[in-house]
C-alpha cells in the first residue's frame, strides 16, 4: 500500500475546501495568498540584499587590531574626522549664502 496521496484524496480534499469556504470565496482567497507570497518574496530578497551589503562593512570593522582599545580609539578618531568634515561643509554653506 502506498502512503502517498492518491488522486481521489486530492478530489476529496478539494470538495471539503469548497464546502467549507464556498466557491465564491476561493478565487479571492487564492489572490490574497498570491499577493502575500509576492510580498514575502520581495521582503526576503531585500533582507538578503541588505545582509550582502553589510558583509563588507562587518569585515572592515572587524579587521584585526592590536587591542580592543586601539579599535575603539580608531573608531573615535574616524568619527571625529567625519564631524570635522561636516562642520567645514556647514561653514562653507553659510559663507556661500
Q: How many CA atoms lie within 13 A of 66 on its CB side?
A: 4
pLDDT at 1 over 50: no
What proportion of the chain, given as a percentage, has pLDDT over 90? 16
pLDDT class of 38 with cuts at 50, 70, 90: very high
pLDDT class of 5 with cuts at 50, 70, 90: confident
- The full DSSP string for the chain is ---SPPHHHHHHHHHHHHHHH-TTHHHHHHHHHHHHHHHHHHHHHHHHHHHHHHHHHHHHHT---S-HHHHHHHHHHHHHHHHHHHHHHHHHHHHH-
Average pLDDT, the chain: 82
Q: In whole angstroms, what is the distance from residue 34 CA to residue 36 CA?
A: 5
pLDDT at 55 over 80: no
The C-alpha cell that represents 54 in the structure block: 553589510
pLDDT at position 41 is 94
Domain segments of the chain as ranges: 7-34
pLDDT at position 2 is 54
Residue identified by cell 540584499 is: 49
What proportion of the chain, given as a percentage, has pLDDT over 70? 82
pLDDT at 62 over 70: no
CA distances from 41 to 29, 36, 46, 93 (A): 18, 9, 9, 44
Amino acid at each position: 500500500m502506498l502512503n502517498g496521496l492518491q488522486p481521489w484524496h486530492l478530489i476529496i480534499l478539494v470538495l471539503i475546501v469548497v464546502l467549507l469556504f464556498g466557491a465564491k470565496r476561493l478565487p479571492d482567497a487564492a489572490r490574497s495568498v498570491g499577493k502575500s507570497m509576492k510580498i514575502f518574496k520581495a521582503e526576503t530578497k531585500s533582507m538578503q540584499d541588505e545582509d550582502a551589503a553589510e558583509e563588507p562593512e562587518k569585515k572592515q570593522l572587524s579587521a584585526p587590531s592590536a587591542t580592543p582599545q586601539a579599535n575603539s580609539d580608531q573608531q573615535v578618531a574616524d568619527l571625529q574626522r567625519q564631524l570635522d568634515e561636516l562642520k567645514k561643509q556647514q561653514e562653507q554653506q553659510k559663507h556661500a549664502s
